[in-house]
């Protein structure tokens, strides 16, 4: 995983008249990935399920607010206390 960012962290200068950060960072990240992985051998992806992971395991419900995260954490803590 990589992260690419271009810009002025103080927001004092624009990138350019018609530029946007994604127009500059995507090509930069693509060049970086190409250069760093060009000599790597291609390997098959191990599609086997790791031990202990159930076939119907989806990772749980989507929690898209901090309140949902806190509520789930509190419910787990109550279960542990019994």
Tell me the per-residue pLDDT of 11-56, one tens digit each, with 9 for 90 and over.
777 777 777 777 888 899 999 999 999 988 988 888 888 888 888 8
Asked if residue 10 has pLDDT above 90, the reply is no
Site of tokens 């291609």: 42
pLDDT (0 to 100) of residue 70 = 92
pLDDT (0 to 100) of residue 23 = 82
Site of tokens 């960072």: 25
pLDDT (0 to 100) of residue 7 = 77
pTM of the model: 0.45
pLDDT (0 to 100) of residue 67 = 92
pLDDT (0 to 100) of residue 21 = 77
């Amino acid at each position: 995983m990589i992260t690419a960012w271009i810009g002025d962290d103080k927001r004092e200068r624009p990138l350019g008249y018609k530029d946007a950060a994604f127009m500059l960072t995507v090509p930069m990240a693509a060049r970086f990935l190409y250069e760093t992985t060009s000599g790597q051998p291609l390997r098959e992806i191990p599609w086997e399920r790791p031990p202990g992971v159930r076939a119907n395991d989806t990772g749980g419900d989507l929690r898209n607010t901090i309140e949902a995260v806190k509520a789930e954490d509190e419910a787990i803590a109550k279960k542990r206390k019994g």
